[in-house]
């Protein structure tokens, strides 16, 4: 654990960060200008690989298509520990509407979830930890992950062995937070994010004239009944003390006021924290849809998590999170941390690296709200603007957490 001061290898952490900050800001802007969607982060991963190679790290490219993994080994390994530090790299399909000089040059692609800043900060962390490697007692594995915004790059990376050789003993990540003011870091012990599963339902039956519904299967009416039946599952079959969200975000059917169409499409998402509730409801959704086939004499099909897109609930291991909080406070001050009262129903696939709580995971949130600079729009908004003053804070917090974990 670092003591109050910030002396590392004789050089204060602030100085180490300030030295690389202009470069980190340039990297962030460069990635911001050239956003790439999930599993298409080719230029981004090239930039990452070049930077890591220059640091002299052991590297693997093309993990889960565009992912990059680098390993920093200690000079004198004393602990069987490997800390995985993850940054996500993908942008969102959104047209940027900010006035930044380095705004997106790619139409309908934007780093509106600030993953550009995550990459830049973790490259900065890799740079500083490389300089401090004589202080490490275990390995650091830097994981640059594709497709966080869906369908998810963590699981394919795990399947390609990212948690092995050396075996990961804890995983950590940061995410920018547009609700917290710059200078604050939000943390929570226990659940942080919900599980997320998407389902796609198709209904088919004979269509016909709107004046003769008895000669058809009216899929607008049947689909409407199905929406109600699905909504009854979480509200009537699950303990009301278990938080669940079921949303049918898309219901599309028909072409014209007097035609009964021959197909309908429903798409929805299911969110919860309890794995048992999650599995129960997914099964009941499937069963309910299947029963509608018999009940109305129509054809149905349901596809849950196509492209392996389901995310499990995010869990911040309480003990590991306490260690991270202490390390951050020791370098950034006691009042930097805000403890979040509630988790969110949003989802994050970083927590897949925890393999259902068998590896301690922790994600902390770096505030980037700054009214004076107009950094007030929420993430995923086409107006979202990052306050770059959050970059040194995120870097310092992550370096502190990593050193603390690998020294304990």
Instruction: Kindly tell me which of 142 and 292 has the beta carbon lying closer to Zn ion.
Output: 142
Nearest-approach distance from CB 380 to Zn ion, in angstroms: 6
By rule CB under 5 A, what string of x and - marks binding of each residue 64-83 to Zn ion?
A: --------------------
Size of the site for Zn ion (CB under 5 A): 1
Contact between 174 and Zn ion per CB under 5 A: no
CA distance 37 to 146: 8
Q: Give dist(CA 303, CA 292) in Å, integer.
A: 15
Report the nearest approach of Zn ion to the CB of residue 307 (Å).
17
Other beta carbons less than 10 A from residue 143's beta carbon? 25
Query: Would residue 311 show up in a list of annotated catalytic residues for this protein?
Result: yes
Residue 263 CB, nearest distance to Zn ion (Å)?
Answer: 32
Tell me: does residue 147 bind Zn ion (CB under 5 A). no
Residues 148, 149, 352, 388: which is the catalytic one? 388
Environment class of residue 86 by beta-carbon count within 10 Å: exposed (0-12), middle (13-18) or buried (19+)? buried
Single out the segment in contact with Zn ion by CB under 5 A; choices: 14-22, 112-120, 229-237, 264-272.
Answer: 112-120
* 68 versus 238: smaller Cβ distance to Zn ion: 68
Binding segment toward Zn ion, per CB under 5 A, in 43-51, 108-116, 199-207, 225-233: 108-116
Task: Kindly report the backbone phi and psi dihedral angles of residue 180, in degrees, each rounded to the nearest multiple of 5, phi listed first.
Answer: -95, 140
Stretch that binds Zn ion, among 30-38, 53-61, 111-119, 205-213 (CB under 5 A): 111-119
Does position 113 interact with Zn ion (CB under 5 A)? The reply is yes
Piece in contact with Zn ion (CB under 5 A), picked from 9-17, 95-103, 105-113, 248-256: 105-113
Instruction: Provide φ and ψ at 254, rounded to 5°.
Output: 80, 165
The number of beta carbons lying within 10 Å of the beta carbon of residue 352 is 23
Radius of gyration of the chain (CA): 24
Give, in order, the Cα–Cα distances in Å from 397 to each of 15, 122, 301: 14, 11, 48
Residue closer to Zn ion, measured from CB, 113 or 397: 113
Alpha carbons within 13 A on the beta-carbon side of 360 = 15
In this structure, are strands 11-12 and 7-8 parallel, antiparallel, or unpaired? Answer: antiparallel
- Per the CB < 8 A criterion, the answer to whether 148 and 77 are in contact is no
Calculate the CA dihedral of residues 86, 89, 91, 96 and round it to 10 degrees. 100
In the complex, residue closest to Zn ion by CB: 113
Residue 181's SS3 state is strand
Please state the closest distance from residue 92 (CB atom) to Zn ion, in A: 7
Q: Which is nearer to Zn ion, 138 or 367 (CB)?
A: 367
Binders in 14-53 for Zn ion, by CB under 5 A: none
Question: Which is nearer to Zn ion, 37 or 302 (by Cβ)?
Answer: 37
Is the distance from CB of 281 to CB of 229 less than 8 angstroms?
Answer: no
CB of 292 vs Zn ion, minimal distance in Å: 33
Decide: helix, strand or coil at residue 235.
helix
As measured in angstroms, the least distance from the Cβ of 123 to Zn ion is 17
Shortest separation between residue 224's beta carbon and Zn ion, angstroms: 31
SS3 content of the chain, % helix, strand, coil (to 5): 35, 25, 35
Query: Which of 311, 348, 352, 405 is an active site residue?
Result: 311
* Residues 328 and 397: beta-carbon distance below 8 Å: yes
Tokens of 407: 């020294």
Contact stretch for Zn ion (CB under 5 A) within 2-10, 106-114, 182-190, 197-205: 106-114
Lateral strand order in the sheet of 337-339: 58-63, 67-72, 139-145, 82-88, 170-181, 361-369, 185-187, 337-339
Q: C-beta of 112: minimal distance to Zn ion in Å?
A: 7
- When the beta carbons of 196 and 253 are compared against Zn ion, the nearer one is 196
Nearer to Zn ion, 88 or 317 (CB): 88
Active site residue 388: yes
What are 274's two structure tokens?
């309890």
247 to 306, contacts with Zn ion by CB under 5 A? none
- Complex with Zn ion: residue 81 or 86, whichever CB lies closer: 86
| Interacting residues toward Zn ion by CB under 5 A | 113
Positions marked catalytic: 311, 388
């Amino acid at each position: 654990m670092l003591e109050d001061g910030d002396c590392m290898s004789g050089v204060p952490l602030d100085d180490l960060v300030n030295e690389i900050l202009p470069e980190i800001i340039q990297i962030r802007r460069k990635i911001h200008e050239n956003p790439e969607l999930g599993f298409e982060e080719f230029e981004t991963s090239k930039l990452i690989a070049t930077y890591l190679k220059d640091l002299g790290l052991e590297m693997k490219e093309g993990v889960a298509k565009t992912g990059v993994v680098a390993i920093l080994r200690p000079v004198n390994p004393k602990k069987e520990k490997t800390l995985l530090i993850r940054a996500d790299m993908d942008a969102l399909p959104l047209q940027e509407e900010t006035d930044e000089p380095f705004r997106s040059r790619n139409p309908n692609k934007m780093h509106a979830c600030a993953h550009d800043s995550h990459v830049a900060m973790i490259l900065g962390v890799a740079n500083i930890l490389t300089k401090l490697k004589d202080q490490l007692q275990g390995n650091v594995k830097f994981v640059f992950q594709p497709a966080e915004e869906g369908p998810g790059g963590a699981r394919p990376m795990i399947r390609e062995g990212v948690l092995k050789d050396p075996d990961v003993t804890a995983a950590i990540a940061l995410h920018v937070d547009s609700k917290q003011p710059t200078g604050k870091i939000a943390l929570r012990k226990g659940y942080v994010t919900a599980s997320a599963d998407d389902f796609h339902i198709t209904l088919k039956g004979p269509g016909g004239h709107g004046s003769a519904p008895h000669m058809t299967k009216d899929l607008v009416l049947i689909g409407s009944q199905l929406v109600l039946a699905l909504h009854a599952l979480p509200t009537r079959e699950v303990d009301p003390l278990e938080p669940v969200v079921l949303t049918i975000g898309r219901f599309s059917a028909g072409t014209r006021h007097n035609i009964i169409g021959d197909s309908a499409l429903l798409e929805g998402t299911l969110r919860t924290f309890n794995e048992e509730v999650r599995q129960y409801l997914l099964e009941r959704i499937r069963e309910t849809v299947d029963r509608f086939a018999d009940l109305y004499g129509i054809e149905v099909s349901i596809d849950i998590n196509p492209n392996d897109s389901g995310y499990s609930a995010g869990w911040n291991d309480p003990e590991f999170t306490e260690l991270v909080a202490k390390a951050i406070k020791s370098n950034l001050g006691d009042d930097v941390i805000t403890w979040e009262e509630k988790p969110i129903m949003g989802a994050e696939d970083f927590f897949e690296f925890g393999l259902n709580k068998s590896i301690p995971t922790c994600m902390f949130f770096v505030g980037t709200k700054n009214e004076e600079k107009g950094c007030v729009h929420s993430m995923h908004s086409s107006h979202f603007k990052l306050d770059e003053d959050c970059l040194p804070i995120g870097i310092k917090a992550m370096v502190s957490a990593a050193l603390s974990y690998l020294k304990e």
